[in-house]
Amino acid sequence: MSVPARAYLSIGEVLSKLRSEFPDVTISKIRFLEAEGLIDPQRTPSGYRKFTSVDLERLRYVLLAQRDAYLPLKVIKENLDALDRGLTPPTQPGSMPMVRLASGDQLSADNFQPRTDIRLSREELLTSSKLRDEQLVEIEGYGLITPKGRFYDGDALAVATAVASLASFGIEARHLRAFKTAADREVGLIQQVVTPMYKQKNTDSKARADELVKELSALSVQLHTALVRSGLNESR
């Protein structure tokens, strides 16, 4: 019977895996990077470090950034923070990290995956969406965007980007309340269909409900698009 591999590495095993690529790395260096907050391995009850494959790749990123790009630890830490929040680190020191929105041209159920992997500060949201601060205040007041604690997620970025684009045509935030009302009604309709499935105990029901939410969401937007297109064609 085969013995499953451990899900973690000791600090000595991490050192062994890094040594061929980074001959100068030492256990003291790894401990120093931990003390500086660049890695945060788990601990066993007896206090030994437990490194995961994610910790190992994080260490490799830090060592590469130091060796090849000559980046100071402060900048590396900022880059790691950007990566942790689903952003692309800036290419120039002092510039803002950015995020690339997925194209909405090919609409499918996959467009309705939860966008919780991105966490943007207020300044990052404004920079990425090209929205002005007063516009953000206004659409927050109308409930189009709500921060999650101190950050904004990918859904907030998508809304802010769309609002900024509409504003370039003279469409103001007060004009967008109808969009919010219509969206809330569509959400309510979909919830009526899937809520009984979520209340079931088995995990298969939850998985089916998750897929159904994405499928119904895509169909709802397709119907909305068709109706708007039809209405505009009739008015020509």
Q: Tell whether the torsion through CA atoms of 115, 121, 123 and 124 is positive or negative.
A: negative
Tens digits of per-residue pLDDT, 3-30? 345 678 999 999 999 999 999 999 999 9
Tally of domains within the chain: 2
Percent of the chain at pLDDT above 70?
86
Instruction: Give the span between the Cα atoms of 121 and 183, in whole angstroms.
Output: 25
224 and 143 in a common domain:
yes
Instruction: Give the span between the Cα atoms of 76 and 149, in whole angstroms.
Output: 25
Structure tokens at 85: 């929040």
Q: Is residue 101 part of a domain?
A: no
CA-based nearest residue to 62, from 52, 50, 74: 74
Range of the domain at 180: 109-235
Structure tokens at 233: 């064609």
**pTM, two decimal places:** 0.59
CB contact set of 30 (below 8 Å; sequence gap of 6+): 11, 14, 15, 39, 59
Q: What is the CATH number of the domain that holds 61?
A: 1.10.1660.10
144 and 78 in a common domain:
no
Residue predicted with more confidence, 136 or 102: 136
In sequence order, the β-bridge partners of residue 70 are none
Average pLDDT, the chain: 84
